[in-house]
Amino acid sequence: MTHTLKNIWHKVTAPDSPPPNEPLPPSEDQIDIPTFPAYDPVMSEIYRHRRHVGVNLGSMFILEKWLCPPALCSWIISKPWESELDFLNAAGPALQAREALEEHWRTFITESDFEWMQSIGINAVRVPIGYWVAGQDFMIGDFKKYQGVYDSAWARLLTVIDMAGRHNIGVLIDLHGAPGGQNGDTHCGISTHRAELFNSNHTMDVALQALTRLAKDLAPINHIIGLQVLNEPIDHPELATFYQKAYKAIRSVHPDIVLPIYFGDAWNIKKYSTWLNQSAMKFVVVDTHQYFCHMPADHAKSVEQHIKDVQTNIASQLQFSANNVTGNVIVGEWSVVLNGKSIEKSRRNDAEAMKSFGQVQQAVYDQNCAGWFYWNYRTGDDGWYWSFRYCVRNGIMPSHYHQGQISPDAVQKVHQQAKEETDKRMETAFTQHTNYWSNHGLPNCPDFWRFQEGFKAGSTVALRFLTNGQGSRIGFKRQLTVEYSDDHLRRHHGSTKSVLWHFEHGFVQGLEAIDQIIQQTIAR
């Protein structure tokens, strides 16, 4: 209450606010820009190819009212609000809006949050941002008059990235709000309820400029695991063309750094995974979102029907799409939440229903995707199932995660077992490979040796992820296979792509051999 009254008094008096339409004075929230280690191809490979077990940090750098804490909402003095722009308009003079947001950026997610995430095995965060965070020069339309509000936004974003890195947590930057809005929802930062990004070359150009700036500054940071071009865009006729332009713009700034580029599937994963399959883009990832509580059709299903749907239809969609894009599919947003009508049909209590549904979803996503991110890490009061913290603390979600990384003790045991078993596993796999293909049209094939080289490379890479990546497990297995296959081709002059499949089969089996040892170690 004291905090709220203090805010109201400050808003009423506001002695230091400049007249309307005049620039704000420089922010007093000037913090040191963190410095990051030099780009390291080995470390970035680990962060960007490992399995991502993560959470979303939604409503930090692009507001959603229903997720905001009471401390931030207490700054509102007029008008109902839903979006970031609404908040700016409703929080009084721009100087006060800036003070409110700066306090929010300092306090909503802190070092202790990353410490807790690391302690339970969370190894990645997806950070939704508005395009205005990339730089005030990009602010257009109604946001332009609020340029000074975001003086310290970029530094605060880098601080969050730095905190994540100190705890071995990778960061996926998600352009959640694009100029004009990539969909009609308020999570784009505006409340027009229209998707106007694609209606103007100017808005699309500004979005591309913001993405270029993000790529320029963030791609060399080793634990930046990717850049997502758009969040939940509508399936607009211009979307594929925009994606192509974004890909070229991002790749152009650091030709020697292959930053993973994530594309939202526009709620049509089969269409966009097929489209990407037909492109020549390198290390692109399909981001799909899975919710089962919003639509009337969702409400009509029982918990058991939703579980069956995930195990069959959703699993099938993910498998199809993963096959299209070398396994590069992640579930960028999901939740255990079901509508009350679904739970009533099953005669379960909320907690039991949500827990069962969450277990099934997690198992399907682990099996068919390279990673997942729960929506959301926290809510305003952390009092319900949209909050990952709430779910873990109340036993709805697991208290620890081994899918992305394992403990130092387990790493040691895996290395010991691998030392004892890898050669034997390779010999067995090589014999099976040569026997099979000798009996299926390739007797005395001169390229069988490539299988052995692939197996050695795959097992070595998997062990390096464990050692150098603090117990990291590989998620983007087929992506790694393609990259090491290309390297094999470069090293062996005179080889042709037609024989690379021997190496690729061996590489995958080398990865799988170490993963089997990991599974055995965890199960003990």
Judge whether residue 82 has pLDDT over 80.
yes
Among 369, 393, 417, give the residue marking a domain's end.
Answer: 393
Domain hosting residue 225, numbered range: 51-71+107-393
- DSSP state, 314? I
Judge whether residue 465 has pLDDT over 90.
yes
415 and 281 co-located in one domain = no
- CATH number of the domain to which 144 belongs: 3.20.20.80
Judge whether residue 481 has pLDDT over 50.
yes
Asked if the structure places residue 486 within a domain, the reply is yes
199 and 62 co-located in one domain = yes
> Residue 4's pLDDT is what?
43
Asked if the structure places residue 176 within a domain, the reply is yes
Higher per-residue confidence, 494 vs 282:
282
> Residue 187's pLDDT is what?
97
- Long-range contacts of residues 282-285, Cβ cutoff 8 Å, at least 24 apart: 282/251, 282/258, 283/48, 283/258, 283/259, 283/328, 283/479, 284/247, 284/260, 284/325, 284/328, 285/226, 285/260, 285/261, 285/325, 285/328, 285/329, 285/330, 285/370
217 and 315 co-located in one domain = yes
- pLDDT tens digits, 5-55: 344 434 444 445 555 567 899 898 888 999 999 999 999 999 999 999 999
> Residue 137's pLDDT is what?
87
232 and 334 co-located in one domain = yes
377 and 458 co-located in one domain = no
Q: How many domains does the chain have?
A: 2
192 and 237 co-located in one domain = yes
125 and 272 co-located in one domain = yes
Of the ranges 23-32, 43-52, 237-246, 391-400, which one carries the lowest mean pLDDT score? 23-32
Judge whether residue 409 has pLDDT over 60.
yes
Q: Mean pLDDT across the stretch 51-72?
A: 97
**Per-residue confidence at 496, pLDDT binned at 50, 70, 90?**
confident
Asked if the structure places residue 112 within a domain, the reply is yes
Asked if the structure places residue 18 within a domain, the reply is no
238 and 211 co-located in one domain = yes
- pLDDT tens digits, 124-137: 999 999 999 999 88
> Residue 21's pLDDT is what?
61
Asked if the structure places residue 403 within a domain, the reply is no
- Decide if 246 contacts 212 (C-beta within 8 A): no
Q: What is the rounded distance in angstroms from the CA atom of residue 128 to the CA atom of residue 474?
A: 24
Cα-based angle 268, 284, 60 (whole degrees, multiple of 5): 75
203 and 254 co-located in one domain = yes
Asked if the structure places residue 85 within a domain, the reply is no
Asked if the structure places residue 16 within a domain, the reply is no
383 and 450 co-located in one domain = no
> Residue 136's pLDDT is what?
86
> Residue 16's pLDDT is what?
54
Q: Mean pLDDT across the stretch 89-100?
A: 94
Judge whether residue 332 has pLDDT over 90.
yes
307 and 358 co-located in one domain = yes
Judge whether residue 79 has pLDDT over 80.
no
Q: What's the whole-number average pLDDT of the chain?
A: 94
Judge whether residue 150 has pLDDT over 70.
yes
CA nearest to 369, candidates 54, 56, 57: 54
Cα-based angle 192, 198, 200 (whole degrees, multiple of 5): 90
178 and 314 co-located in one domain = yes
Q: What is the pTM of this model?
A: 0.95
> Residue 23's pLDDT is what?
83
